[in-house]
């Protein structure tokens, strides 16, 4: 069932091309005469961030999960693009001065640095709204479209991604609880505090990134119209790779190369931010991510060879260097 | 068919109460144990703006349009609440310093003045997302839920409400085209420029407020599962009252009482903003609004008495003083 690394890489390149082309179709004026009511600056601001590249992990997960469930991958493409729009909106808003105040993203100036804060807020709003419009209009039948909208909204909303961002900001602002050197001192003294901090860190990441990654997997499964039991299996898989991805991301901030990543590294440490490597060390963090992936992949056993690419992607997540 | 003003007032009070109670159910921690993953500050910020009152015009339109189409008004309540959430999110984001920079709304401090800019942006994001979650989960059957999500997203998105806000900001920033005394001078000199300015003003308002008001009407009709022909009639009605409402709003800024309105008046003039009274004068603006309402109501003739309240509400829009 295991795929060669090079095969996966080739598959990823091809899938990313398909996704990029479709995203371009949605936001280019030329291929979209229906955009007549959209101000050109708004369209440019949306396209600037959406077409900036990135790993396209979420849309790839939608497509591979659909394939694993025996569904038609082409039919899942609108949902794949929609989830990338939700991810991109969250990056634009998170980068704003009122939040993380970042100047660079994916190796380019952040949206508000180029288009101004007002337009960046509105471009994010537009992308979030467009995601639901695309799923509602293009996923068939309507009952599946509604289930996908519900799934995505629940993952992205005030008990999911938005909650995670609020919790993250609050944890950074709070003194002497989760973040900062002071806590680390306590943490090393006391296993109880260490495990409480770990639970809090997981709670933030589960909402901030885990829920959306998990919904990428369930969207693909819903479009393939799988049974409730299969949907549950993919959900369990998605929850685990969602967390593993965040641990891998924290590790890359410590061990990664800024050039390959297209963004600054060692930022978490300089902000005194709590991360997995800080709490568990590099080796234990890596082991934890690998264990989560292995556990997640167990849930895919009944899907057989069809889940090969999805499993290969999950394994790749903890091994990537960018 | 015409209702007494006092009957409509009583109906409106009752409908607003129903809507307010349901909105409270969605955002109160007590009635919503599923909110465990939502940070309390985020929930408070969302509830602060959503429960601040207001005319509840959009949700009332959803319910009365559903009634006019012979549908079950209770079944439309989730969609009514959802559209109020979209409206509230737009107010929170529009009030931000990076946009209109308003300190007061509905007689209270704006969301970002109380909770800070970061949380205000995220509360808006949460409300927009929750709107789609509620429709997708609670409107039945799924195909109608999907059509409602598509309708609402299209009205609220980058060719609708978000487009209108961008166009409005751009028109304010542009010198010597639409806004400012300089233009008014040209306008009085030249009917051609006057009608171009009017077309531009209508284009902004159609997108900024008209599309969402119109979709309130079509959401109610979709939930009643009317024919395409009836849906088209309600759309035509909605387009006209959407614009009439904006003209009435511009008039209130000139003639209204700040206390009754719960917000500042004469603001448009102090900003040198182009408005209907500025372009057409008070009398012609009022006539135009009334003509639009009369034209819109013509489309409702086939609905008979069932559309009585909807028609009374439309007529009320141009007569209100707050």
pLDDT along chain A (322 residues), means of 10: 64 96 94 89 98 94 98 98 98 96 92 98 98 98 98 98 95 60 53 87 94 97 98 97 93 76 62 85 94 97 97 87 60
The answer to whether A37 contacts B163, with C-beta atoms less than 8 Å apart, is: yes
Chain A residues whose beta carbon lies within 8 Å of the beta carbon of residue B135: 149
Domains of chain B: 5-317 (1.10.600.10)
Q: What is the pLDDT of residues B208-227, one digit of tens each?
A: 999 999 999 999 999 999 99
End-to-end CA distance of chain B: 25
Say what the pLDDT of residue A322 is: 58
Complex-level ipTM: 0.93
Q: Which of residues 89-108 of A touch B (CB under 8 A)?
A: 89, 93, 96, 98-99
pTM of the model: 0.93
Mutant choice from A100, A153, A158 vs B, greatest count of B C-beta within 10 A = A158
The Cα B317–Cα B322 span in angstroms is 10
The Cα A151–Cα A290 span in angstroms is 27
The answer to whether A129 contacts B162, with C-beta atoms less than 8 Å apart, is: yes
The answer to whether A128 contacts B124, with C-beta atoms less than 8 Å apart, is: no
The Cα B132–Cα B82 span in angstroms is 7
More confident of the two residues B177 and B55: B55
Q: What is the mean pLDDT of residues B234-261?
A: 87
Chain A: give the shortest CA distance to residue B256, in Å.
Answer: 29
Tell me: pLDDT of B179 over 50.
no
The answer to whether B36 contacts A159, with C-beta atoms less than 8 Å apart, is: yes
Q: Is B167 on the interface with A (CB under 8 A)?
A: yes
Q: What is the mean pLDDT of residues B176-181?
A: 46
Chain A residues whose beta carbon lies within 8 Å of the beta carbon of residue B154: 133
Q: Is B47 on the interface with A (CB under 8 A)?
A: no
- Which of B124, B170, B153, B206 has the alpha carbon at shortest distance from A119? B170
3-state secondary structure A86-105: HHHHHHHHHCCCCCCCCCEE
Say what the pLDDT of residue A116 is: 97
Chain B: give the shortest CA distance to residue A225, in Å.
Answer: 14
Q: What is the mean pLDDT of residues B287-305?
A: 96
Say what the pLDDT of residue B167 is: 95
**pLDDT-based confidence at B294, cuts 50/70/90?**
very high
The Cα A128–Cα B121 span in angstroms is 13
Mean pLDDT of chain B: 90
Say what the pLDDT of residue B173 is: 81
Q: Which of residues 72-91 of B touch A (CB under 8 A)?
A: 89
The answer to whether B122 contacts A39, with C-beta atoms less than 8 Å apart, is: no
End-to-end CA distance of chain A: 25
Helices A5-27 and A308-317: crossing angle in degrees, nearest 10, is: 90
Chain B residues whose beta carbon lies within 8 Å of the beta carbon of residue A38: 158-159, 163
The Cα A26–Cα A77 span in angstroms is 12
Least confident residue range of A174-183, B51-60, B266-275: A174-183
Q: Is A207 on the interface with B (CB under 8 A)?
A: yes
DSSP A194-216: HHHHHHHHHHHHIIIIIHHHHHH
**Range list of H helices, chain B:** 5-27, 40-50, 57-68, 73-94, 111-115, 117-138, 142-156, 161-173, 181-189, 191-205, 211-223, 228-255, 258-261, 267-270, 276-280, 282-298, 308-317
The Cα B182–Cα B211 span in angstroms is 30
Chain B: give the shortest CA distance to residue A180, in Å.
Answer: 21
Taking the CA of residue A56 as centre, how many other CA atoms within 13 Å lie in the half-sphere pointing to its CB? 27
- Which of A253, A217, A255, A257 has the alpha carbon at shortest distance from A237? A217
The answer to whether A133 contacts B35, with C-beta atoms less than 8 Å apart, is: no
């Amino acid at each position: 069932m295991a795929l060669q690394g090079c095969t996966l890489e080739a598959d990823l390149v091809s899938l990313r091309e398909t996704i990029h082309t479709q995203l371009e179709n949605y936001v280019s004026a030329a291929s979209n005469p229906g955009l007549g009511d959209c101000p050109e600056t708004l369209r440019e601001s949306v396209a600037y961030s959406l077409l900036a590249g990135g790993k396209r992990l979420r849309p790839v997960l939608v497509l591979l999960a659909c394939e694993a469930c025996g569904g038609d991958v082409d039919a899942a493409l609108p949902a794949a693009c929609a989830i990338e729009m939700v991810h991109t909106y969250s990056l634009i808003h998170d980068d704003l001065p009122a939040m993380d105040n970042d100047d660079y993203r994916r190796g380019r100036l952040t949206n508000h640095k180029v288009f101004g804060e007002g337009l960046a807020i509105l471009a994010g709003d537009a992308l979030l709204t467009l995601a639901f419009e695309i799923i509602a209009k293009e996923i068939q039948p309507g009952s599946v479209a509604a289930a996908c909208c519900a799934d995505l909204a629940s993952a992205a909303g005030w008990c999911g991604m938005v909650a995670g961002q609020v919790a993250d900001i609050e944890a950074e602002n709070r003194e002497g609880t989760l973040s900062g050197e002071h806590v680390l001192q306590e943490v090393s003294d006391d296993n109880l505090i260490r495990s409480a901090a770990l639970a809090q860190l997981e709670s933030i990441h589960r909402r901030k990134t885990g829920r959306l990654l998990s919904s990428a997997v369930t969207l693909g499964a819903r479009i393939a119209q799988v049974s409730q039991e299969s949907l549950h299996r993919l959900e369990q898989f998605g929850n685990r790779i969602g967390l593993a991805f965040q641990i891998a991301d924290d590790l890359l901030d410590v061990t990664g190369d800024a050039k390959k990543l297209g963004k600054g590294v060692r930022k978490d440490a300089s902000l005194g931010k709590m991360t997995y490597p800080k709490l568990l060390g590099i080796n234990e963090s890596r082991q934890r991510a690998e264990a989560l992936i292995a556990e997640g992949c167990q849930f895919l056993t009944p899907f057989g060879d069809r889940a090969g690419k999805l499993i290969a992607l999950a394994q790749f997540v903890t091994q990537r260097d960018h």
